[in-house]
Amino acid sequence: MSRLQSRAIIVTGGAQGIGRAYCERLAHEGASVVVADIDAQRAEAVAEELRGAEFDALAVAADVSDPTATERLVRAAVDRFGRIDGLVNNAAMYQRPAVSRGPFEEITVDEWDRVMAVNLRGVFLCARAVVPHMRRQRYGKIVNISSGTVLNGTPRFAHYVTSKAGVIGFTRVLARELGDYNITVNAVAPGLTQSFDEIDDATMQYFEQRSQSRSIKRVQTPEDLVGAVAFLCSSDSDFMTGQTLVVDGGAAFN
């Protein structure tokens, strides 16, 4: 596969789990990949593995909630590859203990702000950093990762769900504002995905139980998501913008 040949694409939160799977698929499709993550060591490990497989990859340590860090990330990508053709806004706070779960009134203001800073402000900052380069070349692909929890109104998770709903709204605004520059902006809403490197029996049982509410009754993995992201980063989706692709095995219909 080579439909992303000569494209340079940034993946935030690319050092592990679903983000890592995005990096691997985009590289296999021919893209030069920027593995951006707050964990510099893990980001470098992923980039090194890709380079070992003869793909072009660069690791950049970046906190997406920090405007200086996002500008530095984009400069590093441009310095290395000379252009930016795609941005996959994947970095997010989701897993415990970083994100607690419970009634909305029990969420602390500090935790609410931390989730919003990464999940929503981070998407805004990364887009703001890449768009000037995409405008100049009059081409670009922005893929924002939302969540199926938005469609279900998943309870006891108000800060996460709200942040991911904001991602969809932001996606639609950007699609309107950037269409004249041949920049497409779309979102992907994954269902509950088993992305742990190691998982205990109880957690796996939970994933299997949840999968029974889907039309396709099996556990979702990162590999189920990579095709949608690769499609939205490619010229196959050049006439598609402002849309949200729900990839959840038929758990929710919108």
* 124 close to 163: Cβ distance less than 8 angstroms: no
**pLDDT tens-digit readout, 56-109:** 999 999 999 999 999 999 999 999 999 999 999 999 998 656 677 788 988 999
Q: What is the pLDDT of residue 98?
A: 67
Helix/strand/coil for 228: helix
How many residues are given for the chain? Answer: 254
pLDDT of 29 above 90? yes
Class of domain 8-247 as given by CATH: alpha beta
Mean pLDDT over each residue of the chain, to the nearest integer: 94
| Whole-structure pTM value | 0.95
Q: Radius of gyration (Cα) for the chain, nearest Å?
A: 17
The stretch 187-194 carries a mean pLDDT of: 94
CB count within 10 Å of CB 178 equals 20
> Could you give the CA distance from residue 9 to residue 192 in angstroms, rounded to a whole number?
25
Q: State the angle between helix axes of 122-137 and 67-81 in degrees (0 to 180), rounded to the nearest 10.
A: 30
The active-site residue, picked from 22, 94, 139, 160, is 160
* Kind of pairing between the strands at 86-89 and 8-12: parallel
22 is catalytic: no
> Could you give the CA distance from residue 158 to residue 161 in angstroms, rounded to a whole number?
5
> Could you give the CA distance from residue 106 to residue 170 in angstroms, rounded to a whole number?
27
* 103 close to 85: Cβ distance less than 8 angstroms: no
Domain locations in the chain as residue ranges: 8-247
Nearest to 145 by CA among 202, 90, 87: 90
**pLDDT tens-digit readout, 226-254:** 999 999 999 999 999 999 999 999 998 86
Cα atoms in the Cβ-side hemisphere of radius 13 Å centred on 110: 1
Q: Which residue has the tokens 């010229």?
A: 235
